[in-house]
């Protein structure tokens, strides 16, 4: 989309004549009017970005490799223009006709973001829809794909509230200090995301069980109801790994407590779940009830750990427990205090933690959040003491940072699993995410795929929706279709609100239950492939689910596909996201290079499930049908299992290749090389394999069979 000239009143556009080169085709631009001002810290990055002399040499003026270089196609000079408009900092970047824009974090609506506007201010947006401009997370990042398949990315280095306007090129506007603007150029979207991951880090490997299906409701109470749900899954032979405890397990909504009547023995409940192959994930919110008889509150008050009001008193706002104080997670000593609260909490056998309401959501606050003039006593690492307006968008990110670090200290031998509703660019280093309080309708089913894809394009690979929809009542058709799609997204959890009808896989009759069982059997049979993709994401930053244009970024017909996605490089998922009887013309298998991909499945035929296709030349590893991931670990050495099937789709030359990653399924031995990356090669009608990397020994008893597709 070309950008016409713009003017804002009498504010002229300013251009940085000397960007700072940070690496090959990687540059930071500043508004020359404010270039003398120090750049505030930007917590999205793993470490502060430093100038690169090698980058400067490689990107000399006029080079075709330059970020924003003059030898790009006409109309695509990416050098930002700057202006100050009505107290805000405005940045404009010109794009070219044929450029497709994506990412921008957690956004509702189509995959292609051209023509869209979003507001980056983390908000409790219950009831959002495809027209909502503000959601729970903020990612000041745009990814562009050119007509020639090359790619570019732009980061706005601000934690303040911002806007991204993609109606004519790329226009950022933000409050606060003048931001840096980092521009990245690469030859493909995959290469571009590799650079983003170098800057913002990659997702740590989760425990294997976190890849299984997870069942939640607001709320399963009392504890006997939790046991009942667990028994039903096993009795009905529907695969599941995790049961979630929402806020009603607490004593009067006091975090880190248990209701003595409804959950009198959480350790016994955990033991009972573990005995059946389940894990338990429990919710913790940031709002701490103001109660002088509540130890968490008095510790926080006496330690000075809470956010202050503008006048210096403790900031208070109303959430589920009533009046609450809020930890100041911008302080290292507060993060340590908060993290240490998990020592006793997870000693009850708790396996994972869910941080919710952490925008922060405050019922009686402006915009359902904290006042901008509240005060944070932030550490220099984040920028020092300042008001909430500066730190609002990273409040949830710093909360899950504290949570993850605390769990690591309390249980250093296990990989933490943390889920968060609110986050910021780079926050994938600390937590997985879901797409918030969606609604049980077909619009939100359709939103599930592009929302997950754009988050993946923003560096957050471990993502999925509330399967079936959180608010409202699903029916059998909607729930079955949603389970089929959700079971193939990275984070697979069903969740629903209190007032809704039951939303378990068996709640809508036998036909729907069968679809759900097959959908989840499919996920678990594909677990070796899923786990390999999680490893790849943790190493390279590539999303686990990818837009179909990753198969051929130069094909414009693939740029707008919302109903299909790639699972890694080798599997195409094509979903029907329309109600029964309302087939859409765009609902079929995409064409182009994908036309030759071959249909396959690993479960019995089921018309309600998305269609699967394998890339010619690929080998996809699959495992046996299991009820939970502990059965995989029990059957082999770590994730290797004793049975493995290789789906082989030879290309026009009769060749195929694939890899499979295995490790212990938990712990950190993989960081010391205790894993096995196995390469499989099919050629001349024969299969060969070798361990390419890692010191883990594969079981000699493993049975590997080959199935041609």
What is the CATH number for 168?
Answer: 2.60.40.1760
What letters, b where the CB count within 10 A reaches 16 and e where it falls short, cover 236-273?
A: eebbbbbbbbbbbbbbebbbbbbbeebbeebeebbebb
CA distance 552 to 282: 42
In this prediction, residues 525-537 reach a mean pLDDT of 99
Give the mean pLDDT of the chain.
95
Helix intervals (H) in 411-509: 442-456, 476-486
Q: pLDDT tens, 74-100?
A: 445 799 999 999 999 999 999 999 999
The sheet with strand 151-157 has its strands ordered as: 20-23, 26-29, 180-186, 151-157, 141-145, 100-103
**Exposure of 32 by Cβ count < 10 A (0-12 exposed, 13-18 middle, 19+ buried)?**
middle
**Domain count along the chain:** 2
Residue 648, domain CATH: 2.60.40
In a domain, 521, yes or no: no
Is residue 292 in a domain? Answer: no
Residue 366 lies in a domain: no
CB 29 within 8 A of CB 170: no
Which helix H or strand E contains 145, and what residues bound it?
strand 141-145
% of the chain exceeding 70 in pLDDT: 94
pLDDT, tens digit (0-9, with 9 covering 90-100), for 303-336: 999 999 999 999 999 999 999 999 999 999 999 9
Residue 99 lies in a domain: yes
CA distance readout (Å), 369 to 331, 364, 404? 20, 8, 24
**Distance in angstroms (rounded) separating the CA atoms of residues 551 and 594:** 7
Residue 356 annotated among the catalytic residues of the structure = yes
Tell me how far CA of residue 625 lies from CA of 233, 284, 649, 684, in angstroms.
Answer: 15, 34, 22, 31
Question: Is the four-CA dihedral 503, 506, 507, 512 of positive or negative sign?
Answer: positive
Catalytic residue among 437, 466, 513, 521: 437
How does residue 62 score in pLDDT terms, banded at 50, 70 and 90?
very low
Residue at token pair 């205090």: 337
Record the tokens describing residue 208, joined without a space.
Answer: 């294997």
The catalytic position among 221, 259, 272, 356 is 356
| Alpha carbons 13 and 7: distance in angstroms, whole number | 8
448 belongs to a structural domain: no
The per-residue pLDDT for range 470-497, each reduced to its tens digit, is 999 999 999 999 999 999 999 999 999 9
- Of the candidate ranges 12-26, 227-241, 636-650, the one whose mean pLDDT is the lowest: 636-650
Q: Whole-angstrom Cα distance, residue 661 to residue 530?
A: 10
pLDDT higher than 70, residue 58: no
Q: Please, what is the angle between helix 332-340 and helix 395-410, to 10°?
A: 50
pLDDT in tens, 106-144: 999 999 999 999 999 999 999 999 999 999 999 999 999
- Taking residues 284-290, what's their average pLDDT? 99
Contact at 8 Å (CB) between 394 and 140? no
| List 285, 328, 359, 576, catalytic entry | 359
Quickly list DSSP for 389-422: HHHGGGHHHHHHHHHHHHHHHH-TTS---EEESS
Q: How confident is the model at residue 64 (pLDDT cuts 50, 70, 90)?
A: very low
Q: Is 470 helix (H, G, I), strand (E, B) or coil?
A: coil
- In sequence order, the β-bridge partners of residue 681 are 657, 688
Q: Is residue 555 part of a domain?
A: yes
CB 245 within 8 A of CB 259: no
CA distance 663 to 698: 10
**265 catalytic per annotation:** no
Reported as a single tens digit per residue, the pLDDT across 375-406 is: 999 999 999 999 999 999 999 999 999 999 99
Question: Is the pLDDT score of 184 beyond 90?
Answer: yes
What is the C-alpha to C-alpha distance for residues 23 and 51, in angstroms, rounded to an integer? 7
Tell me, yes or no, whether 596 lies in a domain: yes
**What is the reported pLDDT for 8?**
47
Phi, psi (degrees; rounded to nearest 5) at 159: -105, -5
Which helix H or strand E contains 388, and what residues bound it?
Answer: helix 388-391
| Helix (H), strand (E), coil (C) string for 275-320 | HCCCEEEEEECCCEECCCCCHHHHHHHHCCCECECCCCCECCEEEC
d(CA 363, CA 358): 12
pLDDT, greater one: 322 or 639: 322
Is 425 within a domain?
Answer: no
Cα separations (Å) of 672 from 341, 659, 663? 29, 20, 11
CA distances from 441 to 473, 477, 704 (A): 8, 11, 42
Q: Is the peptide bond before 242 cis (omega within 30 degrees of 0)?
A: no
Report if pTM > 0.75: yes
Alpha-carbon distance of 398 to 159, in angstroms, equals: 12
Point out the domain boundary residue: 154, 175, 200. 200
Which of 153, 182, 200 marks a domain boundary?
200
Peptide bond into 201 cis (omega under 30): no
Closest CA to 212 of 352, 7, 396: 352
For residue 668, report the phi and psi dihedrals to the nearest 5 degrees.
Answer: -120, 20
Catalytic, 359? Answer: yes
Residue in this structure with the two tokens 């990612």, named with its chain if needed:
139
3-state SS record for 53-82: HHHHHHCCCCCCCCCCCCCCCCCCCCCCEE
Domain boundary among 200, 222, 253: 200
Q: Which residue range is the domain that position 690 belongs to?
A: 538-708
Q: Convert 4-23 into a string of H (helix), E (strand) and C (coil).
A: CCCCECCECCEECCCCEEEE
Q: How far apart are CA 314 and CA 335, in angstroms?
A: 18
């Amino acid at each position: 989309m070309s950008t016409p000239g713009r003017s804002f009143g009498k504010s002229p556009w300013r251009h940085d004549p000397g960007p700072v080169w940070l690496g090959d085709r990687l540059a930071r631009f500043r508004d020359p009017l404010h270039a003398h001002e120090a750049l505030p810290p930007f917590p999205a990055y793993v470490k502060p970005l430093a100038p690169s002399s090698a980058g400067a040499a490689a990107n000399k003026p006029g080079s075709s490799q330059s970020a924003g270089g003059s030898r790009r196609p006409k109309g695509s000079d990416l050098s930002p223009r700057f202006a100050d408009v009505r107290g805000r900092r405005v940045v404009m970047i010109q794009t070219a006709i044929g450029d497709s824009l994506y990412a921008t974090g957690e956004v509702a609506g189509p995959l292609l973001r051209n023509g869209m506007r979003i507001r980056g201010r983390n908000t409790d947006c219950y009831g959002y829809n495809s027209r909502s401009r503000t959601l729970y997370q903020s990612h000041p990042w745009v990814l562009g794909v050119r007509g020639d398949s090359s790619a570019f990315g732009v980061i706005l280095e601000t934690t303040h509230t911002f806007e991204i306007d993609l109606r004519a090129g790329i226009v950022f506007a933000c409050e606060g200090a003048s931001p840096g603007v980092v521009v990245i150029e690469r030859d493909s979207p995959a290469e571009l995301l590799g650079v983003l991951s170098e800057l913002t880090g990659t997702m740590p490997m989760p425990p294997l069980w976190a890849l299984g299906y997870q069942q939640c409701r607001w709320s399963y109470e009392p504890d006997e109801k939790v046991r009942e749900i667990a028994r039903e899954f096993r009795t009905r032979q529907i695969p599941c790994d995790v049961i979630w405890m929402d806020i009603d397990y607490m004593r009067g909504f006091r975090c880190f407590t248990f209701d003595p009547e409804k959950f009198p023995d959480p350790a016994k409940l955990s033991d009972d779940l573990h005995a059946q192959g389940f894990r338990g994930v429990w919710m913790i919110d940031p709002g701490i009830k103001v109660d002088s008889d509540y130890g968490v509150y008095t510790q926080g008050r006496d330690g000075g750990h809470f956010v202050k009001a503008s006048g210096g008193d403790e900031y208070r706002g109303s959430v589920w427990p009533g009046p609450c104080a809020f930890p100041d997670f911008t302080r290292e000593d507060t993060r340590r205090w908060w993290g240490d609260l998990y020592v006793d909490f997870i000693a009850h056998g708790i396996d994972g933690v869910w941080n919710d309401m952490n925008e922060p959501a405050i019922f009686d606050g402006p915009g359902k959040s904290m006042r901008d003039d509240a005060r944070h006593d932030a550490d220099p690492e984040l920028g020092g003491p300042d008001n909430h307006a500066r730190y609002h968008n990273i409040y949830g990110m710093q909360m899950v940072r504290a949570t993850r670090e605390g769990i690591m200290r309390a249980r250093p031998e296990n990989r933490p699993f943390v889920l968060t509703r609110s986050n910021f660019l780079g926050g994938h280093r600390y937590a997985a995410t879901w797409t918030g309080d969606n609604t049980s309708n077909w619009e939100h089913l359709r939103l599930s795929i592009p929302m997950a894809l754009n988050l993946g394009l923003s560096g957050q690979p471990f993502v999925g929706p509330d399967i079936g929809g959180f608010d409202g009542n699903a029916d059998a058709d909607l729930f079955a279709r949603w389970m089929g799609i959700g079971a193939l997204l990275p984070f697979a959890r069903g969740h629903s609100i209190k007032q809704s009808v039951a939303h378990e896989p068996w709640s809508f009759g036998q036909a729907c239950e069968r679809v759900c069982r097959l959908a989840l059997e499919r996920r678990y049979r594909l677990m070796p492939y899923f786990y390999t993709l999680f490893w790849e994401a943790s190493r390279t930053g590539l999303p686990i689910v990818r837009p179909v244009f990753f198969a051929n970024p130069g094909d414009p017909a693939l740029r707008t596909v919302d109903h299909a996605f790639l699972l890694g490089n080798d599997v195409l998922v094509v979903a029907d996201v329309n109600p029964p009887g309302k087939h859409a013309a765009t609902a079929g298998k995409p064409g182009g290079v994908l036309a030759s991909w071959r249909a396959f499945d690993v479960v019995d035929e089921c018309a309600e499930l998305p269609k699967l296709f394998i890339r010619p030349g690929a080998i996809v590893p699959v495992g046996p049908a299991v009820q939970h991931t502990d059965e995989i670990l029990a059957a082999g050495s770590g994730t290797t299992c004793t049975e493995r099937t290789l789906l082989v789709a030879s290309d026009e030359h009769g060749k195929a290749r694939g890899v499979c990653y295995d490790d212990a399924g938990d712990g950190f031995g993989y960081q010391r090389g205790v894993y096995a990356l196995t390469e499989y090669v099919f050629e001349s009608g024969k299969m060969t394999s070798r361990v390419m990397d890692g010191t883990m020994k594969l079981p000699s008893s493993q049975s590997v069979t080959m199935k041609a597709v």
